[in-house]
Structure 1
């Protein structure tokens, strides 16, 4: 399930719980695209606390969307990932190293507020 969170205009913010469906993923992409349509660069806040997995449909959409944005990664300035799973934090940190244009940081659930404050900071022009 996806919950779109209140955030600064340049931040797409989500809380995922349970199993992420293809429909949930579509809502996530629509929110990201809406932010990108009004801002040259955005940040993303993703709270994965309580997320148990992704459907095969959502995984396929994630791969396709990631590939479609390949030339636009510089439009994503920073990303905060909140998770209670240490292995997922390590995977996120590894992915952050593969995409050097994005400042990606992971946070524990009790650091949720700190994560949102960090991700909502004003963005430097790309």
Structure 2
């Protein structure tokens, strides 16, 4: 499940808790597209409470939108105490050099919010 978090006009805020389905992805992409209408580049802030995977259709929708729009994302802050996220974030940072990615623990949430809005 994806819950939208209102942070700032140029920041897409998400909270993930459980499995992401196609309906979640459609809701998130709708908000993302609206923000991109008003901003040249946006940042992404993600709080991960628990991740239960992603449905195949949701993954396809995400990739169809994200790949052609990679340069429209400036940075991404991932807030999570799940340790296996850190190596994945480092790999993603190398694969997509136009997006600066940082990982924060739950107790660093305020720092992550500040950084993603800079």
TM-score, structure 2 as length reference: 0.91
- 1:118 deviation in Å? 0.7
More strand by share: 2
Corresponding residue of 1:107: 104
User: What is the rounded CA distance, in whole Å, between the counterparts of 1:2 and 1:105 in structure 2?
Assistant: 20
After superposing on structure 2, the runs of 4+ consecutive aligned residues of structure 1 that deviate more than 6 Å are: none
- 1:103 deviation in Å? 0.9
- 1:98 equivalent among 85, 95, 98: 95
3-state SS in 2 of match to 1:5: strand
User: What is the rounded CA distance, in whole Å, between the counterparts of 1:77 and 1:63 in structure 2?
Assistant: 17
1:9-51 Cα distance to aligned partner (Å, 9 max, x none): 1101000111111100111111111111001111010111222
Corresponding residue of 2:64: 64
1:69-123 Cα distance to aligned partner (Å, 9 max, x none): 2xxx2221111011222212211221111111111111111111211111011xx
For 1:23-62, what aligned pairs fall within 5 Å after superposition? 23-62=23-62
Structure 1: 5+ residue stretches without partners: 122-126
- Structure 1, 111-120 or 56-65: larger mean CA deviation: 56-65
Structure 2: 5+ residue stretches without partners: none
Aligned residues: 118
User: What is the rounded CA distance, in whole Å, between the counterparts of 1:4 and 1:86 in structure 2?
Assistant: 23
Corresponding residue of 1:21: 21
For 1:67-86, what aligned pairs fall within 5 Å after superposition? 67-69=67-69, 73-86=70-83
